Structure 1
């Protein structure tokens, strides 16, 4: 049976159909048929609100089995990690992967919608491998955001991808390699 992956898009009026679809297609090419990738359109993608996306995510979680890998790009990653910290899912995720995710809080972005937190290590499901990918040339969300997550989640693995932009140049080969190696073991080194 194929392993499940849930990919949560970033924000923007055309993010789902014109931007993040390229990330999903890259991941599908790299992973092959051993994975089933779900890529739901998030509500009001041009103006994401935490509560609205949280409701949509919890609905998506209902269809996931233990070991499913959760991936969030940009604000989708930010909302995903906050939802996991706020509410324990009914299934046991296999890994959490953040791609170019803004950090909300001191040093990161302010938000009137998402409560800043630094207690992710205590709030995320126990033993959940967290992998953070960020392009060194990201002009939308500077690389420092990945470092803020690393400070808040010391057990996370941070991968700096040289010469890559916010969309990681539409190349998720490193993400796929870590998944194929077994995301949990990838998080240990």
Structure 2
């Protein structure tokens, strides 16, 4: 059995209340032929900051991230549950954070959670380009408070132009004992550096 500390990371995505909204936004999105920006995202570089012999980082590609459906993500996510062991670390960025919050508030979880990290998660905010569709929280925090989670960290930045920092404040108010980390200049946390999150993870093995 692999005894390394497990980290399961759920990336972000876009959800829409209707197919027409998806098509409208698809027409507006710009393309990029430079893949380097994606490879430099902090979520792609866990092993650059954490020792591979101490951590097992699981970063699944969730289905249809440009037109995400909660049920599809739930089905795919649950395929990974059988390989998790107690004291797993869960990390969710943007819609991935919303997904984890919704899932943990509605479903039982098979193992204990050492840390839950929600990075720029959406709570109930929607605009012309960002919608929640079936990722919308129904009865939060619900079952999340019954799950054994040792630490809950929420990260937000005041200059995030995609998800307002007030969304993270809503989560913080709903989750007793959670830690809210507010930055001034991280935007939507799309850069290469995120030392604060990695330092919090490293504390598990210290």
TM-score range, shorter chain: 0.7 to 0.9
In 2: Cα distance, 1:134 partner to 1:26 partner: 20
Give deviations 1:125-155, integer Å, cap 9, x for gaps: 4341211111221110011111010111131
* TM-score of the aligned structures, taking structure 2 as reference length: 0.77
Secondary structure of the residue aligned to 2:122 is: coil
Paired residue for 1:126?
Answer: 147
In 2: Cα distance, 1:50 partner to 1:143 partner: 23
Paired residue for 2:121?
Answer: 101
Alignment CA distance shift 1:133-1:85 (3 Å): same
In 1: Cα distance, 2:155 partner to 2:136 partner: 23
In 2: Cα distance, 1:32 partner to 1:112 partner: 38
Structure 1, gaps ≥5 residues long:
none
Q: Which residue among 177, 191, 199 is the counterpart of 1:177? A: 199
Please state if 1:55 is matched with 2:75: yes
Contact 2:13-2:67 within 8 A present in 1 as well? yes
Q: How many positions carry a matched residue from both structures?
A: 179
Secondary structure of the residue aligned to 1:163 is: coil
Please state if 1:11 is matched with 2:31: no
Structure 2, gaps ≥5 residues long:
15-25
In 2: Cα distance, 1:30 partner to 1:164 partner: 18
Secondary structure of the residue aligned to 2:187 is: coil
Paired residue for 1:28?
Answer: 47
Deviation at residue 67 of structure 1 after TM alignment: 0.9
In 2: Cα distance, 1:127 partner to 1:20 partner: 33
Paired residue for 2:90?
Answer: 70
In 1: Cα distance, 2:121 partner to 2:96 partner: 7
Alignment CA distance shift 1:61-1:53 (3 Å): same
In 2: Cα distance, 1:85 partner to 1:161 partner: 26
* TM-score of the aligned structures, taking structure 1 as reference length: 0.83
